[in-house]
Structure 1
Amino acid sequence: MNQTQSIDQAVVTAAVDATITSRRSIRAFTQQQVPRETIQEILQVASRAPSGTNTQPWKVYVLQGQSRQTLVDKVCAAHNALRANPALISEFQEAYDYYPEKWVSPYIDRRRENGWSLYGLLDIGKGDKDKMHFQHQRNFQFFDAPVGLMFTIDRIMGRGSMLDTGMFLQNVMLAARARGLHTCPQAAWNGFTSIILPHIGAGTDEMLLCGMALGYAAEADKVNSLHTPREPVTKFTRWLE
């Protein structure tokens, strides 16, 4: 390898690593619009994600302008109605279990740390249900991002297709970062499938996997100062020789 090739590889490595490590879930966006061409470019690059036997099971719905706002209004209204009458929960069921039925350590500990770190940053105390409800509803406003994405797969597909789509989702987020954009993947939308699928024109044979906010980060907003910790490699890796 000559010196030029070595330098080029170092540049590529640094760029890729910076893209990955600078990705974080943004919870406050500016109103700056994202050109359709940029979104299309991101999705095209992301489509290079691997999938079992090249099935490419993902489907993407892009919401901007009025279609985005109408969905926000519908789901926020449902979210408020659900708070007023918890019995309505039967109308808002998720298509699959994103979280476990029973939480155990260390996962519950990480979940609690994440939740209270966010709430502490926003001065939301334990038992402050109004503030909690407001902050949770920020999900259903795409955190003010001008672009909302919904991802589905056909129900007939197996669990492996969810893994495939997860890799596609990661590609979307990294391709966005490479273009100066930020994202927030959102499983919070999943409970409102009955509202979302008809709104986006998805068939009843499709299953909503998650939503995602896409746009430019409002860097000055304190909520975006949250950086969640990661476990060291030594804690999640076992070397076999």
Structure 2
Amino acid sequence: MLFDDVVLGRRSCRGYKQEPVPRRLIEEILGLAMRAPSSMNTQPWHFYVITGEPLDRIRRGNTERILAGHPDSREFRKGQPFAGAHRDRQVGVAKQLFSAMGIARDDKDGRQDWVLRGFRQFDAPVCVIITYDRVLDGSDDTPFDCGAVATALVNAAWSRGLGTVINSQGIMQSPVVREHAGIPDDQVIMKSIALGWPDDSFPANAVVSERKSLDEAAVFVGFEG
């Protein structure tokens, strides 16, 4: 695929076929992702790639703890709730997804099931947990670099026919994730990425999120015309 085709065609997938993804293909994707730039070549990222029964245990543990009322234990800072235009975009994509799935505003069960899908890693056959070295905790460059490698990963996966969605729900219960993924204490859990073969019959997979215009995003200084 051409680079433009990957970037313009990629979308977040929230429904997956229950078919295994070959380890060698994942290794190829990670190898491409690790060509992402990082501050002064620090390469702070690590990947924990989980499938099968260990992933099922993480799904169960996440869901059980959330339903039991356990507060989230996300390790990477999450900041303040979105407001203004950022909140509008968040609500906008949620409306797109709920509409595609036929989940009405007053459908509490449907909405809860949708939320729980996130804690189940969207039932994808593979989950990639991105961590960074704890000695770098507090660095502004480190999360920027991990974001770069995550972007490279999802684009590399798409170029190979695989779907992904970057999410935080799957790592909200970090003790569960640490236990079943074998993540040591010298790592900070940052993000998770669900990965697998897209299920084209899943309505939400057809959703293409709206993007703000270039005029809204870019300021050009010193150019003529």
Q: Could you say if the C-alpha distance between residues 201 and 220 of structure 1 is closer, same or farther in structure 2, counting changes exceeding 3 Å?
A: same
Counterpart for residue 120 of structure 1: 99
> Which amino acid in structure 1 is aligned with residue 54 of structure 2?
S
- Looking at structure 1, the residues matched to 77 and 107 of structure 2 have their Cα atoms a distance apart, in angstroms, of 27
- Could you tell me how far 1:232 is from its partner in structure 2? 1.3
Query: TM-score, structure 2 length as denominator?
Result: 0.92
1:178 and 2:165 aligned: no
1:32 Cα deviation after fit? 1.9
Q: Displaced runs of 4+ in structure 1, greater than 3 A?
A: none
Match for 1:93 among 65, 73, 82? 73
Shift of 1:74: 1.3
1:198-213 equivalences in 2 (<5 Å): 198-213=179-194
Which residue does the alignment assign to 1:162? 143
Distance 1:70 1:94 in 2: 18
Instruction: Report Cα offsets for 1:51-82 as digits up to 9, x if no partner.
Output: 11211100100111111111111112112212
Q: Does 1:103 align with 2:82?
A: yes
Question: Per the alignment, in what secondary structure is the counterpart of residue 84 of structure 2?
Answer: coil
Which of 117, 123, 127 matches 1:144? 123
Q: Deviations over 1:114-164 (max 9, x none)?
A: 112212222223343322111111112222221111111122211211110
Shift of 1:102: 4.4
State the TM-score, normalized to the length of structure 1. Answer: 0.86
Q: Identity over aligned residues, as a percent?
A: 27
Report if aligned partners of 2:45, 2:132 keep a CA contact under 8 Å in 1: yes
Equivalent of residue 44 in structure 2, options 57, 64, 67? 57
**In structure 1, the residue corresponding to 2:104 is in which secondary structure?**
coil
- Structure 1 residue 185, shift from structure 2 partner: 0.7
Report the Cα distance in structure 2 between the residues aligned to 1:179 and 1:235, rounded to whole angstroms. 32
Whether the 8 Å contact between 2:131 and 2:187 is mirrored in structure 1 is: yes
Using the TM superposition, give the Cα deviation of residue 106 of structure 1 relative to its aligned residue in structure 2, in angstroms. 0.9
**One-letter identity of the residue aligned with 1:166:** G
Amino acid at match of 1:141: R
Cα shift at 1:103: 3.1
- CA shift, 1:31, in A, is 1.3
Matched, 1:237 2:218: yes
2:108 to 129, 137, 140: 129
Tell me the distance in 2 between the aligned counterparts of 1:68 and 1:103.
30
Q: Distance in 2 between matches of 1:135 and 1:66?
A: 22
Give the aligned partner of residue 53 of structure 2. Answer: 66
Larger relative helix fraction: 1
Q: Write the deviation string for residues 67-102 of structure 1: whole angstroms up to 9, x where unpaired.
A: 1111111112112212xxxxx32xx2222333x424
**2:81 & 2:113 partners in 1: Cα distance?**
26
Corresponding residue for 1:35? 22
**Does the 8 Å CA contact 2:33/2:149 hold for their aligned counterparts?**
yes
Give the secondary structure class of the aligned counterpart of 1:75: helix
Q: C-alpha separation between the residues in 2 aligned to 1:185 and 1:102?
A: 18
Structure exhibiting the larger radius of gyration computed from Cα positions:
1
- Structure 1 gaps, min length 5: 1-13, 83-87
Partners of 2:121 and 2:170 within 8 A in 1 = no
Deviation at 1:43, TM superposition (A): 0.6
